Amino acid sequence: MTKIAFGSEELEFTIEPGDSLIEREPTDDFPLWNPDKLISQLEADRFGDFCADEKILIIVNDAHRSTPTGEILSFLYKQFPDLSADFIVACGNHPAPSDEELQKIFGRFELPADTKVIIHDSKDQASLREIGEINGCKQFLNKHLFNYKKLLVIGSVEPHYFAGFTGGRKAFLPGLADFETTRRNHAMAVSDKAQPLAIDGNPVAEDMQRFFDSIDLPDLYSIQAVVGRKHDVIDCFCGDISKSFKAAVQLAEQVYSFATDRQFDLVLAEMRPPLDRNLYQLQKALENCHAAVRDGGTIVAISKCTEGVGNDEFYHLAGKLQDGDTALSHAGMDQPPMGIHKLSRVVRMGQRITVKTLTGLKQEIVEQVFFESAVSIDAEIQKLRSEDNKPLSILLVRDAGLMAVKVIL
């Protein structure tokens, strides 16, 4: 029996005689983070001078990322006891974090008494400042950034299903940008070039960089982390945001991707925390792994989705669309609605392979966003076996919300 994570439970399935199973997961074949390396870099960069004499603003991710924010902050405050800072949570278009999620963001780090925590709201126009225009469209950024002379951004880098990688410039777009700028950026994800692990030639990634380059920011220092499958820090890269991001990308690709010279009859994409929380996040597993499915094969994304759909706008948009063709036509509009990039990508994926999910949600909820519901893994294996009348090739990708497959045929 093979086990797959399903929320706090585990699911089991059986490999039939003659079937082949290959498992892949993020690798831990790296020495764990040596803080002395970061100390040396911070000292070389004169970080103590950077944060001396005045309060800085520290940009942190929300709870949708496994960024080791609390661990890094504890380390910084220990090494630089005079550090004084406020914080801004770069939520992008995500809802404001709950108290529980704030605890998760900061972990065991205890916020100093004089610290202010700002929550970014992409729809709160009063909290935004216009920073210029790109292609005739006004761009806005959270205005609190400009109330400080120095900024520190703490990010983590792993594959992202249409932006190439998280981290770096993504703290600003979508992290601290306005809703409409993010909508226009995400609309570019309808492109086939918007793929995990891709930056050059990826219109979403290039637009994020273009947005960042257009900002006249205060002094900025960057710490970009790469974490392993157990959420241990493997390494941190710091200094200039572009250089630290590039270095982290090189390591993250080694940790969170693997290459294969074949495709499979069935791909099982297992979601793990924190990305297993809802249906909206589940699509990351599909995007990271679908290329490994042969034409006419099946992918099953497995996630308990304990928090339900996770994005009401995305779900209600799907309810307004008659079918997949309607989703594709909406994706081609001059001003496509937010969330259509996700729906249209699922439809296009389903034109080549069968796309299924195994969740804790009702079937009608799953099917509204163009997924098919799987009854069980064993049932999917039996179904494919009866259709093909031959042994199956199966790929199990663990932590598939982060683990991306590179198919080289």
C-alpha angle 312/316/321, rounded to 5°? 150
The residues pairing with 409 across neighbouring beta strands, listed in sequence order, are none
**Model confidence at 324: pLDDT above 80:** no
* Predicted confidence band of residue 231 (pLDDT cuts 50, 70, 90): confident
Confidence of residue 30 (pLDDT cuts 50, 70, 90): confident
| 324 or 136, higher pLDDT | 136
Residue 239 confidence (pLDDT) above 80 = yes
Domains of the chain: 2-27+261-407 (3.90.226.30), 35-255 (3.40.50.11440)
Q: 214 pLDDT exceeds 70?
A: yes
pLDDT of residue 321: 77
Cα angle: 51, vertex 55, 60; to 5 degrees: 85
- The HSE-up count of residue 207 (CA atoms within 13 Å, CB side) is 25
Q: Which residues contact 57 (CB under 8 A, 6 or more apart)?
A: 85, 86, 87, 88, 144, 145, 147, 148, 150, 151, 152
Average pLDDT rounded to a whole number, residues 182-186:
93
Write down the pTM of the prediction.
0.88
At 35 the pLDDT is 87
Contact status, residue 376 vs residue 358, Cβ threshold 8 Å: yes
- Mean pLDDT of the 99-106 span: 95
pLDDT at residue 409 in the model: 82
315 vs 125: which has the higher pLDDT = 125
Q: From residue 59, how far is each of 151, 173, 281, 331 by CA, in Å?
A: 7, 13, 22, 32
Residue 305 has pLDDT above 90, yes or no: yes
Give the per-residue pLDDT at 82. Answer: 92
Is the pLDDT reported for residue 281 higher than 80?
yes
pLDDT tens per residue, range 109-155: 999 999 999 999 999 999 999 999 988 999 999 999 999 999 999 99
- Residue 274 above 90 pLDDT? no
The predicted pLDDT at position 190 comes to 87
pLDDT band with cut points at 50, 70 and 90 for residue 322: low
Strands (E), 255-380: 257-260, 264-270, 293-302, 354-358, 372-373
